[in-house]
Copies of this chain bind each other. A is one copy, B any other.
Amino acid sequence: MSTEETTGGARDLSRFSINQMTVKQLSMPELVAGCVELGIPGVGLWREPVAAYGLEATARLIRDAGLTVTTLCRGGFFTAIDPAERAAALEDNRRAIDEAATLGTDTLVLVSGGLPAGSKDLHGARERIADALAELGPYAFERGVRLAIEPLHPMFASDRCVVSTLAQALDLAERFPAEQVGVTVDTYHIWWDDNAPAQIARAGASGRIHTFQLADWITPLPEGVLTGRGQIGDGAIDMREWKAYVEAAGYTGPIEVELFNDVLWARDGQELLRETAERFAQHAA
């Protein structure tokens, strides 16, 4: 019995990429085996599990399985004021760029950082991100890696990412060549924003949609709000609508599903991987 028969019909997974965090209960070999079995062509990786399995070993494992690494998560955290902290952050980002190149992905996702302790200066924090991009953009370009600024939902503005909208992300990105700096379009972070469709068009017009990610919006949000992303189809977001926006803007690349969810993480990883592939096929293929 083929996979298609067991899951009830033909599924188009040709653009699907599973972000590793979605099924973080799977080891790297389990993830790769699951993708091969289900016909999932792409994976988005995170630095910590890559380091745990080994950078070169991961690159080899993925390459030998014929999978594509669509993104590496994540660089960023550029908002420190202290010079030593800033230098350390830049050095860590150079290492992240090197790792992306070794893994064979052309996209490093950036979570830019929140407000330093005690600061109330959002504008200053955003300017420090620009300073960091000016240093890192050329370094990344030389290694075939593009930086993808991810606007995070405004509920993360103080503690995780002062870049809250696609408009803000593009205001930063457009100071640099598109081959160096673009944006991450993630439905979870922008779905509420009626200005986002126009910003997706703006990003597409300058070739700056470097990755497109999906997660659904469900409530109630859990304490800390980090691990409440919904499975595709379970929440308030019309995935086809957002897919249509990025496609109208010229984006034809992989579509990653990236969920952080304690309830999903408590389940069997392979079952969750299969469900996520099915939801992708149903709502976004």
Give residues in A with beta carbon < 8 Å to B.
115, 119-123, 126, 153-155, 157-159, 164-165, 167-168, 191-195, 217, 219-225, 235-238, 241
Chain B residues whose CB sits within 8 angstroms of the CB of A191 once the complex forms: 122, 157
In the complex, what distance in Å separates the CA atom of A123 from the CA atom of B241?
A: 12
Instruction: Please tell me if the beta carbons of B159 and A122 are within 8 angstroms of each other in the complex.
Output: no
Bound together, the chains give a CA A219 to CA B153 distance in angstroms of 14
The answer to whether A155 and B158 touch across the interface, beta carbons within 8 angstroms, is no
What are the residues of chain B within 8 A of A158 when measuring CB–CB?
Answer: 192, 217, 219, 235-236
Cα of A120 to Cα of B241 in the assembled complex, Å: 10
Given contacts A126-B194, A157-B217, A168-B194, list 18 more A-B pairs with CB under 8 A: A115-B236, A120-B241, A121-B238, A122-B192, A154-B154, A154-B193, A157-B236, A158-B235, A159-B220, A164-B193, A165-B193, A165-B194, A167-B195, A220-B223, A220-B224, A221-B221, A221-B223, A223-B223
A-B contact pairs, 8 of them (CB 8 A): A126-B194, A154-B154, A155-B225, A158-B192, A158-B235, A167-B195, A221-B225, A222-B223
Residues of chain B within 8 A (CB-CB) of A122 are 191-192, 194
What is the distance, in angstroms, from A232's C-beta to the closest C-beta of chain B?
12
| A157 and B192 form a contact (CB under 8 A) | yes
Q: Give complex CA distance A119, B217 in Å.
A: 12
User: What separation, in Å, do the CA atoms of A121 and B221 have in the docked complex?
Assistant: 20
Residues A237 and B120 in contact, CB atoms below 8 Å apart: yes
CA distance A235 to B238 in the complex (A): 34
Contacts of A157 in B (CB 8 A): 191-192, 217, 236
Let me know if B155 and A221 touch, CB within 8 A. Answer: yes
Q: Are A224 and B221 in contact (CB under 8 A)?
A: yes
Chain B residue nearest in CB terms to A240: B120
Are the C-beta atoms of A219 and B164 separated by less than 8 Å? no
**Bound complex: CA A194 to CA B126 (Å):** 11
Nearest CB of chain B from residue A283's CB, rounded to whole Å:
11
**Cα(A273)–Cα(B155), bound, Å:** 27
Partner of A238, one of B120, B126, B168: B120
- Residue of B164, B194, B235 near A192 (CB, 8 A) is B164
Residues in B neighbouring A164, C-beta threshold 8 A: 192-193
A155: which of B115, B154, B224 is its contact (CB, 8 Å)?
B154
